[in-house]
Amino acid sequence: MMKKVIIALIFLAINISVYSQDTIHKVNEIGIGFASTSSFSLRYQWGIDQMVYRISLVSLGGTNSNANTSYAQTNTIVSNNYDYITLGSTSNTPINLTGGLNLSMVRIKQVNDKFGFMYGLAIGINLSYVETKAETNYLYNPSNYNPIPSNYTTTSITSSYAPFIGFVIGARYKISKSFFVYAEITPNVNFTYAQAKVNNTPGVNTPQNSNKITRTYGLSGLTNSGAMITIIYRIKG
């Protein structure tokens, strides 16, 4: 009986030791990454030092712009013998948003205390939404009549979503016990569904409205130009 108790205690001690080691080596990390001066990502990752699971908000970006163009007054004669004098146009992009969600798992193979290679799998989706508004001003002048001011407004909306699956290839450099730098690319196969809508307000010589949908498959992320550099802070580990 005593022999069985001793064996049980040894087995329990071994399991406690293994559990303690796993607990000690578990890590939790947060970071911010950059693919360009206008695109960044936020990341949370957990696991052990040799393998981490990651959730990333990627390619986050947002801009707006305004532009004004003045034209020299020129007459344009169309088939119905009506003349148009273009005065100018204004355009702005009040909404220009991009972003995506990326789930990945990577293994790190240490070369030395500071440097290690990493590889893994990633799945995710990238989204974009751009809205542009433009107003064109001109004079409408039928023969033998005084010029009549006229304008129309064009609203263009382009949106897309692109799910993907791919590989993560890169390296990790240890700056200190708490800070790391990750450099990686994610070659992937993706499918993009995109829609482009153009709506115009009624006016003289107003272009027709349109709604175009495209579906494409692609391969991307193979070049260093799309590399992501991420600075990671280790919260626990």
Would you say residue 216 lies in a domain? yes
Q: H/E/C letters for each residue in 112-173?
A: CCCEEEEEEEEEEEEEEEEEEEEEEEEEEECCCCCCEEEEEEEEEEEEEEEEEEEEEEEEEE
DSSP code at position 208: P
Would you say residue 40 lies in a domain? yes
Between the two ends of the chain, the Cα-to-Cα distance in Å is 41
pLDDT < 70 stretches in the chain: 1-25, 37-38, 60-89, 138-150, 203-205, 224-225, 237
Domain that holds residue 204: 2-67+91-133+154-236
Query: How far is it, in rounded angstroms, from Cα 103 to Cα 53?
Result: 8
On whether the CB atoms of residues 102 and 87 are closer than 8 A, the answer is no
Would you say residue 52 lies in a domain? yes
Query: How far is it, in rounded angstroms, from Cα 114 to Cα 62?
Result: 36
Query: How far is it, in rounded angstroms, from Cα 136 to Cα 203?
Result: 10
Query: How far is it, in rounded angstroms, from Cα 15 to Cα 19?
Result: 6
Would you say residue 82 lies in a domain? no
Residue with the two structure tokens 């991307």: 220
Would you say residue 139 lies in a domain? no
The model's pTM: 0.70
Tokens of 168: 């993560």
On whether the CB atoms of residues 164 and 193 are closer than 8 A, the answer is no
On whether the CB atoms of residues 181 and 229 are closer than 8 A, the answer is yes
pLDDT of 72 reads: 42
The CATH number of residue 7's host domain is 2.40.160
C-alpha count within 13 angstroms, C-beta hemisphere, residue 104: 28
pLDDT of 6 reads: 44
Would you say residue 111 lies in a domain? yes
Tokens of 196: 């482009």
pLDDT of 96 reads: 80
Query: How far is it, in rounded angstroms, from Cα 182 to Cα 172?
Result: 5
Would you say residue 118 lies in a domain? yes
pLDDT of 124 reads: 92
**Domain count of the chain?**
1
Would you say residue 24 lies in a domain? yes
